[in-house]
Structure 1
């Protein structure tokens, strides 16, 4: 898609949007593809694919240090992507946007850099019980090193975070609250505004994992007042291997570098080294330049569609799928919080999720099965995992009809024969 074609559409049209995603128009096992694994990774519009091709075909060069036209063009597009991301989430300034390899590295960066410089024995880090492993393990690692401890914020059986329990856990020993904006396993939308306020009420910082939110919700980090917000390009229609760490400038300034190497330095000598300014202090080495530029194209694409219309469409898909699930005997929904988006997680009586997933794939329906890197909440619920169908604005009610037609056939094969 050319930049000229990236105009804001006056109304949301899922069928029209689907034309922008070439991968959706194929057959799998002789069946038209129904892609319902968007929580794992979203598909890429032609504009994003073309941005990668254009960089390598026309502008391939390292950024910031080259004294020639290719380097200048690459650097301009690379830094323009930073501006676009800052505008998308309403960061106060572009230097608050740090490029990483993904949500996991963004969290590891904060845990290692902030944690190593700020945590001490007896400090507490509160993490919701429904978190992705990426928002648990880095905190456990730094807590073990520093003598701090990680505690789980309780989550109800319906997938709702227990704010009352969180309030009771708060005191001045809490230094960080880390919580997902949207649960990848259950689809729960957490009350992140209140969580940030509660963290600040005891002098703690708050990190929000927005990996599952960016493709569904509009995010304003200044309105949230969160200290850190992290997400991955590949879950918001961009490429794999690129992520974002947003942090308040004053906090980032006080944090030591995460890695050493080129770009993150100001001067180097054997008598000592001084470090670069934000954001480059945290961007050691040659980055994924093509990926960052393609993320900029993904932001352009998101800005070109009717986001309100897309959100309404996705909510309609979820409600339609839930109604069909409740009407189908033997289906148990997992995660029924009042506010949810993008995810239908369920079990089929008498079957294992992996068997169901395999039979759906044979019918051209792509879903995910397992614990979804959220083992603690699955253990709490007493289940090995779920079948997860996750939706995006390029999905349609026809996709959901195909899902349930395939589920009926899977049930007949696994249970009724």
Structure 2
């Protein structure tokens, strides 16, 4: 492994990818945490945490994707989702909570915002609140609720708690485990029925969700889930060729269909297999080390909740490109251009992580945290 690749290999998710431990006892090492802290400065951590702290218990405005079976199902966001009612929508609330857990886990240990973050997480993660979340999912008319995006983020949240060797984290995990296991079971039932991958640049995309789900399976030691995701990923994507990256992004994308698929496949193929697959899948990747071969997305109105998605595509592309580069063999001529473009996208994406408009502030910090803490590697 090259020095560059080693420097990117910060998360403990893939440390366990080959062993599928069954006791769920994986934890991040001090060196991994120190490496992340060297990148996520106190200023960055404070900036990201502030946005999450401001929204996790902010009930309105709110967009509820709520299926009603009768008049009795009418309710406010807080009544419907007693734990995850903030941050405009359910999935953003979930990954807003994940952001706080992630930064408590690997961020500055003396940060002034830590006490508030712990208090807010403790307020959300109570047995009563999680029972309320489970009751919502138990309605037979809501089988597809937040699938796959939101429920994959829920698994990412519990994966983070599993990796954090902390008494409070263990308590929160115990509270969330019933919901986690309910969701994992439903996803295991759904994946064999999904006849085709979902190749979108928004929430329903299957590749991004599968990546989050696979990382959870490896952290939690759920070898059945791991095997199923690996199998389905290969079924869907192993024969894919010449992905039309030049057609991206669409006007409301926050995920790249092509790059996110490659980011998934590097998780399920070994290094040499992945390098060969990538040659067929993205045959035009530059070998000259240039960074201008893929232009960042442009947002012309950051107050528009759909148009601002393109700030997110810049952040997610950045981690895709980094992850793809880090998964190639030493000396692969594509690594330089992948990392150069990642830097361009990272710079563009981070500039957009502000509190100027709630349309972006309720979710972009989670993407920035995922990128800057190397969560997916």
Q: TM-score, normalised by structure 1?
A: 0.26
Flag the structure with larger Rg: 1
Q: TM-score, normalised by structure 2?
A: 0.27
Say which structure is richer in helix: 2
Say which structure is richer in strand: 1
